[in-house]
Amino acid sequence: MAWPFLTGTVKIVVEITFNGKVNVNVHFATKQGGASVDPTDLVPLADAVYEAYNGNWQVVAAQDAAVSQITAINWEAPNGRQGFTSLSVPFSGGINSDALPQNVALVVSNRTNFTGRSRRGRTYYTGMQEDSVDNNTANAALMSADLGTSVEIGANVALVGYDHVVYSLYADGAPRVTPSAVRISEYTINARVDTQRRRLPSA
């Protein structure tokens, strides 16, 4: 094992396509009890995240946006095995409305039982339909669905025997000798949408 890999860790990549371009959300999960990754867990983990996006994000997302693939990668060493969701992809958002640009996102904060910026994370949910945001503020249905996506990810991966974690490679601006993976204990959301120019996909 070499940096930035960690025993028992799986990296789960969610690809969201919008106007032919791909935006990516990354989630990490670690095997409960400190055990190594079982390769047969990869597809069930991808399916666990699929169910969370399909049951929550999809309900409020615009039809212009679609989850095109979900991949679970053994993150214990370079060139780890990977498993793709066994469920039907792509699936589009359920609202027949124009989507906001991909750099406009609703942010779910992932909190742990430890202090410090490196022990908390964020998930940026894009694909929002225009009518769900007014004066840079998300409506209640959008907030509930995006928060619900993260909450369900945590619950679903636990059923496979994993914890949804904040995966940190740096502390105080310096690389960690060993990456840190800390279980997420709480998910929170702010009604105000976030914009980041760097999240605009390249042409």
pLDDT digits (tens, 9 = 90+) for 36-85: 999 999 999 999 999 999 999 999 999 999 999 999 999 999 999 999 99
Write down the residue that tokens 């930035």 correspond to.
Answer: 4
Give the distance between the most distant pair of CA atoms in the chain.
Answer: 48
* Predicted local distance difference test score (pLDDT) of residue 3: 67
pLDDT at 185 over 70: yes
The verdict on residue 93 lying in a domain is yes
The verdict on residue 1 lying in a domain is no
The verdict on residue 55 lying in a domain is yes
The verdict on residue 2 lying in a domain is no
The verdict on residue 3 lying in a domain is no
pLDDT in tens, 140-179: 999 999 999 999 999 999 999 999 999 998 888 888 888 8
CA dihedral 55, 58, 61, 66 (to 10 degrees): 150
Element (H, E) at 140: helix 140-159
The verdict on residue 190 lying in a domain is yes
* Predicted local distance difference test score (pLDDT) of residue 31: 97
The verdict on residue 132 lying in a domain is yes
pTM: 0.93
* Ranges 11-25, 57-71, 108-122, 176-190, most confident: 57-71
Of all residues in the chain, the percent with pLDDT exceeding 90 is 74
Range of lowest pLDDT (6-10, 16-20, 62-66, 198-202): 198-202
* Contact yes or no for 8/31 (Cβ under 8 A): yes
Band (pLDDT 50/70/90 cuts) for residue 1 is very low
**Residue 92 CB burial class (10 angstroms; 0-12, 13-18, ≥19):** middle
User: What does pLDDT average to over the chain?
Assistant: 91
Element (H, E) at 148: helix 140-159
Number of domains in the chain: 1
* Predicted local distance difference test score (pLDDT) of residue 203: 43
Of all residues in the chain, the percent with pLDDT exceeding 70 is 95
Query: Which residue range is the domain that position 124 belongs to?
Result: 9-199
The residues pairing with 29 across neighbouring beta strands, listed in sequence order, are 10, 164
The verdict on residue 191 lying in a domain is yes
- Spatial separation of the C-alpha atoms in residues 186 and 112, rounded to whole Å: 7
